Structure formats: C-alpha cells, structure tokens
Structure 1
Amino acid sequence: MKPLSLALALAVPTEAYLRFGCATLSVQRLDPIVEPGKIPSSHVHQIVGGNAFNATVEPGSDVAAKATCTTCSFSEDFSNYWTAVLYFKARNGSYKRVQQYPNALLGDLTGGMTVYYMQADFSSNGKQKITSFKPGFRMTVGSPTNTAGKHPGLRYTCLQDIMTRFPETAEFPKQPCPAGIMAIHHFPACWDGKNLDTPNHQDHMYYSGTGGFVTHGPCPASHPVRMPHVALETMWDTRPFNDKSLWPTDGSQPFVWSYQDKQGFGTHADYLFGWKGDALQRAMDSTSLLSNGLKTQTVAQSNKCKINPSVREDIDGWLDKLPGQ
C-alpha cells in the first residue's frame, strides 16, 4: 500500500497545500484547552492526532516530544485537532451519535477528519514568508455560545456526493443530505508574534480571511506574523437518518451538536500544535508542499494509534440525554 500522502501527491501534483487525513484518536469528554484538567469536560469531542492528548496538557509543553504515535498520515504531525460531536435527535427525544467517514482520496481511515495547511490558496504558495507555529502553541475558532453565523470560516455543506463542496451555509442544512453533512472550520492565520495562547484562546490570533480556501487578507499591525492557514473538514454520515418520518413533526432538521446546539452556529474547533522539529517549517518553505521530505505512514498505521478513554460512559447507544447536558 502506498503511503496516503504519496497517493495524494500523485493525484494533485500542481496544487500548493498540505491536505491529509487523520483517523479518529478518541471520542470522549476531554478538552485540555478550554477545560484543562476537568474529567469529564462539558460535552463530547472527536479528537485526532498524537497520542499525548489527555485532560491536562501543560501550557507551553511540546506534545511532539511526548507522543509515540499519531493518527495523521504525516507521521511527524503529533498535533491534536478536535471538534464537538454530532448527534441525531429522534422524535421521542432520544439521541444517537452520528458516525464520521473519510473524505475523498483518504482511503479507509477510521472516521477522523481532513486537515489542510495552506500558504495562500489551492493554486499558489504566494510570496509571503509563512512562519510555523511554535511548540506549546494552541488556539480555538468559534464558540459553543454563538447564536449567529458571524464567522465566515465556519460553515456546512449538504453533500450530494463525496465530492460536493458548495454551497456552504452558516447553519445546519435544513433538508436530508444524500451523502451526509460536512462541517468546515477555518482557523485564523495572523499571530501577534508573542503569545502561544491567551485566556480566551483566540486573542493572540486574527482572522483576515473571507471564508473558504482563498488567500487571506494582509495581517494587521497588531498581529503581523503570517502563519499557516489551517482548516478542517469533517464528514458526518447522516444518511442513516435521512428518512423524514424520523424527523421532528414540524419538518425541522434533527441534528444537534453535543452541547445541544440545533442551529449549528456554535460550531467550533481546537488546535494544539505538535509537529516534530522543523518539519512544518520545512513544508511551509517548500515550493511544492507535498514534497520536501515530510515523512508518511500507511492508513493502517494511522488507524492503529489510539488512547484509552479517561471518561467511561455510553456515548453510542440511544441516549435519553446528551452526555454532560
């Protein structure tokens, strides 16, 4: 079997970005950025990346030095990426977790998500110096308390097939989606050059994008350092719940995030940097991002990396209430 990233490089040799899959590391109530040390955290997350992930990741610590495996196809990426989990709410008020499935070209990954690192956009590296994140860096995008879709980088796509990319909406699709629902999270790419984190995990970064996989605008003087544009795509397999007779009697869409958000505006994601050594900086300095010596692993190796649950509770059966809610 070819390493996953090699297959991608052969498929898209002219495109200037990293695009790779990360299998599911764990699904449980942990959040070392927003709720450090709390076991369990307030709602369920799906987590990918390195196996150093736990309830307490000390601020400033280098997770790449502690991890021994990763679920990502680039074997030097021990970062962690996580989002909330999607649930279906039945007419009787019970909940069932929606499973994830891999994006196109990612092989037989177990759940997980697609991760992007971009310098400019899909077709150009641009001319600006891109500075890698530093060990101990962390950030979030979005907030579970949001009640309006104000962030242009947080969107949903109602998948007609696995290749669908448009249109994007700020709220959950209102109709059954033939191939599921894709959630998209674009992180900011302008850094203040000083802080690896801030109390709200966002003020040290600035989002100069307009949404989508397009070139971001100039960084402001307050956040002058251009960093990689990180984006996540998660494919939620809502197909088993597409029978409208299962939906609410008023015809409204039946999906909720694991913190009881049924509009979708509160979608959010977390990022904990963990690339080994200078691997990411070498990639950002490269003309063709998918080359330049990044080490890869097979899909089987990605799927094998797991962590034991710190929280033991039923998250997969038919539930009377969402865990923690």
Structure 2
Amino acid sequence: MTLSLRRRPRSRLFVLAGIAVALAGFLGWFATGPLLRPAGADEKPLSQGKPATASSSEGRAFPASAAVDGDAGTRWSSGFSDPQWLQVDLGSPTALDRVVLNWERAYGTAFQIQTSLDAATWNTVYSTTTGTGGRQTLTVSGTARYVRLYGTARSTGYGYSLWEFQVFGKSSAPATATVGPAPTSTSTSAAPAPSGSAGYIMAPNPVTNVKPSHEVPPNKGGFHEFQANCSVSRTNLGDDPIVFPGLAGASHLHTFMGNTTTNAATTVDSLTKGATTCKAKGDLSAYWMPTLFNGDVAVNPEGPQVIYYKTGVTDYRSVRPFPKGLRFVVGNAKNTDADKFLAATEKGFECGDSYENKNIPLTCPSDRSVKLNIRYQAPSCWDGLHLDSPDHQSHMAYPIDSHSASGMVCPDDHPVAVPKLEFKMAWPVNGDMSKVHFASGAGPTFHYDFINAWDDRTLTAMINGCIVAARQCDAQGHDGRDDQQPAPYVLNNDYVLP
C-alpha cells in the first residue's frame, strides 16, 4: 500500500511532464510554423535586386546597386559631403513594415527614412540625430513604391557606407509593366523640374528590363556617330530652364543653340512648338552653355557648331534614343578641379598647336584662323527611370571599363546606353587671352545643358542609321569617308526624314 501510494505521484508527475514536453514542442512548432512564424533572416527583402540610385558614389567600385544586391561583401559608399541619399524603386506600391540598415564603419549619425509613391513627393517615416551604426532595424509604416535613406550628418570624414539597404513589407499592387526596345514615341507633357534640390521627373515610359551589354560587336574600333550642326539661337540670356525653371534672369549669362524659344519657362511642349537653328529640322532640342567673354565683350561661336552624337559603350548596337524630355547638366559651374575637368574633355582647351590645356591659355597665336576650342563629353548611361534628378546629373552616369573584351559598359545602376553628346565648340578669339573667361568663371567652370526635344522618328533613324550601323555620319546621316561605301542619306536634302 505504501509502495502504491508512492508510485501514483510519480506516474502523475511523469504523465504531466510528458504532456508539458509535448505541449512545449507543439507550441514551439506553432510559433515557428507557417501561421505565426516571424520574419527571419531567410526572408528576402523586397528591395533586393531592384533598381537603386544615389546622390553620389565614392567610386565605380561602390555603386548604389551594391546596397541592394543581397551580398554582404559589397557596399554603396557616397561622396564625402552632406547631404547624401540612397533610393530604391520597389516597382509597385508596397505596404511597408521595416527597413534594415547594415552600416559599414562610415555610418550616418543623422538621417531619415523617406517614402514616396512617385519619387517626387517624400514623406519622412523615421528620423534620428543619434545614429549608432552597425545593424539597425527600423520599424516603419505606410504604402510606397520608393524608399530612400536621406543622410544629413556623417559619423566620419568619409561618406555614408552601407553593406545592405533592405526594405520589408508586402506588395499591395501588381508590378508595373516593363518595356522592351526603346519606344519611338513618348509623352511630351513632362514639366520642368522644381527649383532647388527637391524633386525628380519620372520617365513616362521607364526602361526597367535591360542590363548593360557585355557583348563584343564587330567593328568595335570603328566610327559610330553623327553630328548635330547647330548655330547660336539666343545669347547673353540669364535663364536656365533646368537649374532655375521659371526664374528669368536668375542664372549667369548663357549662349543657346538649337531651339529658338529656350528661356526660363521652357517645357518640352514649348520646345516642340518652336523652331531650330540645327540643320536637322527634327532636332528641336535645347542646348546651352555659359557665354564666353573677352573682358566685357561677349564672344559667340560663329556658324554651325558640332555636337556629336556618339556611342560611349563598346557595344554600339545597344545604344537607344534619348527619351523625350530627358535633361541633364554636364560639368559644374562651380568646379575648381582642373584635372577633373580635363579628364572629361578630348584634348582640353585647344588653340593653334596648343593642346591638353586645363584652363584657357593666356595666349594663342594671333591669326584669324585660330580659335579657342573645347570638346567636352557627356555621360551616356541612363538609369532608365528619371528624366531629371535633384542635382540634374545623378540619373546619368559615364560608362565604366569592364577590363575585359567587353570594353566600356554601362554600370548596373544606369544600365541604359544612350548617345554620348560631345560639344565641340569654337570661339573666334586669339592673341592675348588673359581676359578671356566664361560667365560662370575660369575655364574649368565650363559646362553645358541639354533638353531632348528631337522628333522621335528622326532621332531613331539617325541613331540606327549611323551609331548602330557603325558609320561616321554628318548632320544628314551620310557617311562620306573615302574608304567606305557611302551610306544612303537618312534625311533628305532639306534635312527632313522622308
């Protein structure tokens, strides 16, 4: 009886313990099962592999795309100044729940997480001035297609550096359609970019399904270009419809070529209703640059100037037309880095037999045939998403050297190859050049602006007939090299596409 009384408690205890173990196991499975399992480390961020852009990068090895590639060994690193931003396009409106930042040692102490549906109007969903770096998981809410980190204070003298920028949530709408080959017609209703540092202009037909071409084409060392020969249309006008839209006289003086209507109030619609000083009647684009002065006297280029449309990438067959309304600024009106300026030119400032000048030479031969020349090249890789960006430059990028047979290719975060503009300007000034300067300042402040308003069919025909066809064309689309079978004219004798 005594033994029986002792065994019963043990039996009950054993049974209860077994039930407890089973219940714990069940609850453990239930908590991590498909119904209540929390988002874990294996959950793929919605941002992974999506298009990413940034205000700047420390170099080609640290692009914006490296922060959303899912590789913890690659990173985005910005320029060494404030503010800076990194943005990802999720592709469709998304209900957000958190953002995870995996900082490198150069982190942000003050930054915001901002969201937007259109990349133009931004809402701040998280803000701090006491960031500590490391791995930060930030709870956010709301619905957005675009998410960006906006940094205003750095922890070091370096830039902002992220191994990974991860956005989590649940997509609430189907992904936007991507497009294949470049459209031959796009909307012309894009308005000017807001003044100041705010705002993007989204492309009405974004290109999101292309990757930079690494193919090696035939005749990769040949010519792949045509010319836009455009004369001065307006000069000594202090307007800049890209940097100071709607603000007449707010800029230093500019010399305009191409479209005859360009002013502070210019839109793509107004350009398409204007006339042009370019030979090709379909080129209604606006081109402008700071006015050159010799002392107090403005010096304008005489006659048609050469604006080359070339390939900037080795696979010239991948070059497609600019989207209507694309605009950008090449160079910097406040630049003081003469070496950086020289690197973007063909031969620097030239006059007579003097080449590779970082600044305007102090003297040039006193001969009427001698002119001051510059050939300055634009970036030719587009992010596929924006017609303009806050700094009017970061939606464009220069090609990078692949260090392989592929040669020059577009970076992954700017995958769309478009024509490379090259301004070849000649001013009739020589002799004593000590008082020659631009309205923006010394030689390295030279820059130029561009708004694409080409007739879509004409631009497509010139690109396909000259760049893609590996020809060296004039403004009519004719390849007149002696060693080549002349190509058929793309434009007729009136410089109009038949």
TM-score, length-scaled by structure 2: 0.46
SS at match of 1:100: coil
- Indicate whether 1:24 and 2:24 are aligned: no
User: What residue identity is the alignment partner of 1:195?
Assistant: H
SS at match of 1:132: coil
Which residue pairs with 2:324 in the alignment?
135
- Higher relative contact order, structure no. (Cα contacts within 8 Å, ≥ 6 residues apart): 1
Cα deviation, residue 208, structure 1: 2.4
Cα deviation, residue 117, structure 1: 0.4
- Residue 113 (structure 1) aligned to one of 305, 317, 322: 305
Cα deviation, residue 97, structure 1: 1.4
- Residue 412 (structure 2) aligned to one of 221, 240, 255: 221
Which residue pairs with 1:185 in the alignment?
376
CA distance in 2, matches of 1:234, 1:140: 16
Aligned partners of 1:113 and 1:233 also within 8 Å: yes
Aligned partners of 1:64 and 1:275 also within 8 Å: no
CA distance in 2, matches of 1:176, 1:257: 17
CA distance in 1, matches of 2:311, 2:242: 26
CA distance in 2, matches of 1:169, 1:209: 25
Aligned partners of 2:379 and 2:420 also within 8 Å: yes
Aligned partners of 1:79 and 1:273 also within 8 Å: yes
CA distance in 2, matches of 1:184, 1:216: 22
- Indicate whether 1:82 and 2:306 are aligned: no
User: What residue identity is the alignment partner of 1:80?
Assistant: A
Q: Provide, for residues 125-161 of structure 1, a one-character-per-residue CA deviation record: whole Å limited to 9, x for no partner.
A: 854311111111101111111101214224643322x
Aligned partners of 1:37 and 1:56 also within 8 Å: yes
Aligned partners of 1:73 and 1:296 also within 8 Å: no
- Indicate whether 1:278 and 2:460 are aligned: no
Which residue pairs with 1:173 in the alignment?
361
Which residue pairs with 1:316 in the alignment?
none
Which residues of 2 match residues 131-280 of structure 1 at below 5 A?
Answer: 131-149=320-338, 150-151=340-341, 152-154=343-345, 156-160=348-352, 167-177=355-365, 178=367, 179-208=370-399, 217-239=408-430, 242=431, 244=432, 253-259=434-440, 261-262=441-442, 264-280=443-459
CA distance in 1, matches of 2:269, 2:493: 21
Q: 1:295 to 1:26 in 2, by over 3 A?
A: farther
SS at match of 2:284: coil
Q: 1:113 to 1:138 in 2, by over 3 A?
A: same
Q: 1:88 to 1:172 in 2, by over 3 A?
A: same
- Residue 39 (structure 1) aligned to one of 223, 248, 252: 248
Aligned partners of 1:26 and 1:46 also within 8 Å: yes
SS at match of 2:243: coil
CA distance in 1, matches of 2:263, 2:270: 10
CA distance in 1, matches of 2:376, 2:250: 21
CA distance in 2, matches of 1:21, 1:43: 25
More strand by share: 2
Identity of paired residues, percent? 25
More helix by share: 2
SS at match of 1:21: strand
Q: Provide, for residues 208-228 of structure 1, a one-character-per-residue CA deviation record: whole Å limited to 9, x for no partner.
A: 279xxxx98211101001000
Cα deviation, residue 46, structure 1: 0.7
| Number of residue pairs matched by the alignment | 246
Cα deviation, residue 66, structure 1: 1.9
Aligned partners of 1:79 and 1:271 also within 8 Å: yes
SS at match of 2:456: coil
Structure 2 gap segments, 5+ residues each: 1-221, 479-488
Cα deviation, residue 29, structure 1: 1.6
Aligned partners of 1:46 and 1:85 also within 8 Å: yes
User: What residue identity is the alignment partner of 1:119?
Assistant: T
Tell which structure's C-alpha radius of gyration is larger: 2
Q: Which moved more, 1:227-236 or 1:200-209?
A: 200-209
Q: 1:268 to 1:216 in 2, by over 3 A?
A: farther
CA distance in 1, matches of 2:325, 2:493: 23
SS at match of 1:281: helix
Which residue pairs with 1:54 in the alignment?
263
Cα deviation, residue 194, structure 1: 0.5
CA distance in 2, matches of 1:209, 1:271: 22
Q: 1:82 to 1:128 in 2, by over 3 A?
A: same
CA distance in 2, matches of 1:41, 1:63: 20
